[in-house]
A = this chain, B = another copy of it.
Amino acid sequence: MAARASAPRGKKAYPLAKVYGLLEPGPVVLVSTARDGRPNVMALSWHTMMEFEPPLVGCVISNRNYSFDTIVATRECVINVPTVELARKVVQCGNCSGRKVDKFEKFGLTPEYGSQVGAPLVAECWANFECRIADDALVDKYNFFVFEVVKAWIDPARKNPRTIHHRGRGVFVVDGRILKLPSRAK
């Protein structure tokens, strides 16, 4: 898919400096890619913030995944943050491979053009981070990619987004109540 200049439908640009606040809590994410015009998406929980700005995100993406080769070849992807309403589709994305299935079509997900990368955004997700590989030094040893978020989008209409966190084997914990404490942390 080609990049474009305007905002994806229903989305608003989100400050890169605030991306960490959405990924640091550890939500399951959907990583979307495109190769030869064919979009694909996988579910992933093994990620961590590595720098505030420009935001760097470390992700373990197994070389057994179809997305691995695409990311190595295209050097880009989109990290999408789904909310609990999408939980079933997230699991479905994890239960099959892009080698055999067009997951966007099969699970009723909508690929949207991004502005910086060729990989598609998953329109149904609350937030979308367009990424390029910043460092592949640990890819061979650990399948660990360091991505730079080059553009961030958020759905400003979502008032109470609740993300999901994977505890293994299809068990998820859903975001509960919010706690505010006097902190000096960023």
One of A42-50, A108-116, A120-128 contacting the partner: A42-50
Counting contact residues on chain A (CB < 8 A from B), the size range is 35 or more
- CB atoms of A185 and B166 under 8 A apart: yes
Docked pose: A106 CA to B171 CA in angstroms: 37
Beyond A25-B167, A50-B144, 13 additional pairs, beta carbon < 8 A: A24-B45, A26-B26, A58-B58, A91-B181, A91-B183, A94-B184, A95-B184, A170-B182, A170-B185, A172-B178, A172-B180, A173-B178, A173-B179
Contact residues of A between 131 and 186, Cβ < 8 Å to B: 135, 137-138, 141-142, 144, 146, 162, 164-186
Q: Is the CB of A170 within 8 A of B174?
A: no
On whether the beta carbons of B45 and A46 are closer than 8 Å, the reply is no
Tell me the chain A residues, 1-55 only, with Cβ under 8 Å from chain B. 18, 20-22, 24-27, 43, 45-51
Does B24 contact A88, Cβ atoms closer than 8 Å?
no
**Contact of A170 with B183 in the complex, beta carbons under 8 Å:** yes
B-chain residues with CB within 8 Å of residue A173 when the two chains form the complex: 25, 175-179
**Which residues on B sit within 8 Å (CB–CB) of A47?**
48
Query: Is the beta-carbon distance between B168 and A20 smaller than 8 angstroms?
Result: yes
Set B25, B170, B171, B178: member contacting A45, Cβ < 8 A? B25
Q: Which residues of B contact A166 (CB under 8 A)?
A: 24-25, 185
* A174 x B176 contact (CB < 8 A): yes
A183 touching B46 by the CB < 8 A rule? no
A142 lies within 8 A of B175 (CB):
no
Interface core residue of A47, A51, A88, A166 (most chain B CB under 10 Å)? A166
